[in-house]
Structure 1
Amino acid sequence: MPAFNLTPSGPPTFILNGIPGLEAAHIWISIPFSMFYIIGLLGNFMVLLVVGKEQTFHKPMFLLLCMLALTDISMSTCVVPKALFIFWFGFKDITLEGCLTQIFFLYSIYDMQSAILVIMAFDRYVAICDPLRYATILTNARITKLGLVGLIRAVLLILPLSLLVQRLPFCANHIILHTYCEPIAVMKVSCGDTRVIRMYGLVIALVVIGLDLTLIGLSYGMIIRAVLRISSKKAHRKALNTCTAHICVMLVSYTPILFSTLTHRFGQGIAAHVHILLANLHLLVTPMLNPIIYGIKTKELREKLGKYTCRT
């Protein structure tokens, strides 16, 4: 191997290759990408508009929906516009600073969204298990403070990851086989030791996914126990119906992340383009489906969305 391939260079400019093996189909892939992105933006901005304009919606559950909508908009916008520029115009260059910025914001938003889902589970627990004290336990101010705690946790967890990636040495190969700066894809083009970053990535996965799913599981365990104590079947259905939207959103949010994490670590036989397509679909489908799920399952929101849609 020539010597220059082993010599770390200065801050590099990376090449985001897009979806390896499917370069010829980039234009066709961009069609569903752009459609899903636009639908997701419209749906989430509509939720923000309706909740902002309707005074009766200025309460904890709808404040949480707004937080979720903001994370959905931010998450897809971190990645999709750059991916579309790659597909349409072949603009593949991204600087190290741009790459680190993308990693920081994207994974901070992932973390923040997970924290919001935990708060939503707690909201449902209080609404079902202690309804008489709901208004005093969960105020708008308290929800805002919990959201701020989730944001601080996200920054404290993801900032060290970005700094660790920044310290990596990069040699001759600057081609990232992905549509965005995914940390594992970036580590593959480094000529340094990446064990510390891999271990820290595992810690983040355990803290964010493991801890948050445990807290959500505990909340729903107590909800199920409380519901089983209710003798009326009608009350059973009403209580569980208040949780269905949140359960659907959790499945949509966590299933792709868990699958992607497991396949990256244990699915070495899966083709690279499958990994990348699944990672991108999560960033597109989740923001698109969340407002649809809540629009269908939340009667008040559904009625107001219908009113504003008909007006326009």
Structure 2
Amino acid sequence: MLLPQSHDNRSFFQPSAFLLIGIPGLEAVHGWLSIPFCSMYSLALTGNCLILLAVRRTPSLHQPMYYFLSMLSLTDLGLTLCTLPTTLAVLWFDYRRIAFDACLIQMFFLHSFSVVESSVLLAMSFDRFVAISNPLRYASVLTNSVIGRIGMAIVTRASVSLFPVPFLLKRLNFCPEKIQLSHSFCFHADMMKRACADITVNILYGLYVVLSTGFLDSLLIALSYGLILHTVMGLASPQERIRALNTCVSHILAVLVFYVPVIGVSIIHRFGKHAPPIVHALVAYVYLIVPPVLNPIIYSVKSKHIREAMLRLLRRKGQS
């Protein structure tokens, strides 16, 4: 039951739960739609776990590039596990209810992992810049302690950036008739639109987080590749240039896989008010599910060392 709460002696309504939705207009085939969703979740979990195991069990992969790849895989696992329970609950069992506080927690971790992924991609671009511009000092610059501090800074940045968001939502007066969200998981933009109150502070803080994380990171990644190209153009032979750029292909693809859906979600939420609900839902699913599915495929295809390590793991599993 959705109960109003008292707040400063004024009428204040905060729902005890929100109602989630699967794919609007396709409720009758949610059972069938759960098959591709289960397949994608399985691919994401299996692929990223294999990368983590491959890096851990292969001494030759104990290098900065692969440590950052492990961070990316951990982040993708977090993103996948954030949305998996509620999405499959809606598609399998039509269980749409999520407690208000549980929704806040899911929203916090979902956006935090997104910020972490953006930061890890930035760190990986720095890794490629150091490897190409100053290969002789690569190992001395990116030591294990430096990589550990970068990882801690990334997690701290995401946590601090997103920490105020649940409290900004908690203070809002919500509309009793607007408790149905637009997805099978909790987005900040989606939740705040259910309020019957001034959400200017939420909008401004959300914009600040986007600009200070994803937008800033994308600019710095672009700057890193500008410097990388400048360095590569100074190499003597075309073969050296191709070899240097080839080490960046996997990262460039991972950046595109992450940022293109992020831009799509931002545009839809800000300018797509009249777009069909199914468009909002599909863009959000692409943003949250496709990168964790594709990143292991990209790195296993483009990196011979990762591919061989993963195949060795699979052969050992098959023999056991």
Question: Could you say which TM-score interval applies, normalised by the shorter chain?
Answer: over 0.9
Cα drift, residue 289 of structure 1:
0.6
Residue segments in structure 1 that go unaligned for 5+ positions in a row: none
Cα drift, residue 21 of structure 1:
2.2
Q: Partner residue of 1:207?
A: 212
In the superposition, the TM-score normalised over structure 1's length comes to 0.95
Task: Quote the sequence identity (%).
Answer: 41
Q: Partner residue of 2:142?
A: 138
Q: Partner residue of 2:26?
A: 22
Cα drift, residue 16 of structure 1:
0.9
Work out the CA distance in 2 between the residues paired with 1:303 and 1:49.
12
Q: Partner residue of 2:7?
A: none
Q: Secondary structure at the match of 1:8?
A: strand
Q: Partner residue of 1:220?
A: 225
2:73 alignment partner, one of 44, 69, 73: 69
Q: Is residue 17–residue 92 contact of structure 1 (8 Å, CA) maintained in 2?
A: yes
Structure 1 position 158 matched with structure 2 position 162 = yes
Q: Partner residue of 1:272?
A: 277
Q: Partner residue of 2:151?
A: 147
Deviations 1:220-251 (Å, cap 9, x if unpaired)?
00000011111201101100000000000000
Q: Partner residue of 1:285?
A: 290
Q: Secondary structure at the match of 2:254?
A: helix
Work out the CA distance in 2 between the residues paired with 1:29 and 1:8.
38
Partner amino acid for 2:73?
Answer: A
Q: Partner residue of 2:202?
A: 197
Deviations 1:62-99 (Å, cap 9, x if unpaired)?
11111110100110110122111111111111111101
Cα drift, residue 102 of structure 1:
0.5
Cα drift, residue 175 of structure 1:
1.6
Q: Partner residue of 2:100?
A: 96
Residue segments in structure 2 that go unaligned for 5+ positions in a row: 5-9
1:231 alignment partner, one of 233, 236, 242: 236
Q: Identify if the C-alpha distance between structure 1 residues 306 and 83 changes in structure 2 by more than 3 Å, giving closer, same or farther.
A: same
Q: How many residues align?
A: 308
Work out the CA distance in 2 between the residues paired with 1:10 and 1:204.
25
Cα drift, residue 11 of structure 1:
4.7
Equivalences for residues 39-78 of structure 1 within 5 A: 39-78=43-82
Q: Partner residue of 2:193?
A: 188
Q: Is residue 249–residue 293 contact of structure 1 (8 Å, CA) maintained in 2?
A: yes
Q: Is residue 30–residue 88 contact of structure 1 (8 Å, CA) maintained in 2?
A: yes
Work out the CA distance in 1 between the residues paired with 2:143 and 2:232.
24
Structure 1 position 247 matched with structure 2 position 252 = yes
Q: Secondary structure at the match of 1:94?
A: strand
Structure 1 position 296 matched with structure 2 position 286 = no
Cα drift, residue 12 of structure 1:
1.9
Deviations 1:159-185 (Å, cap 9, x if unpaired)?
111211111112312222221111122
Equivalences for residues 105-116 of structure 1 within 5 A: 105-116=109-120
Cα drift, residue 269 of structure 1:
3.1
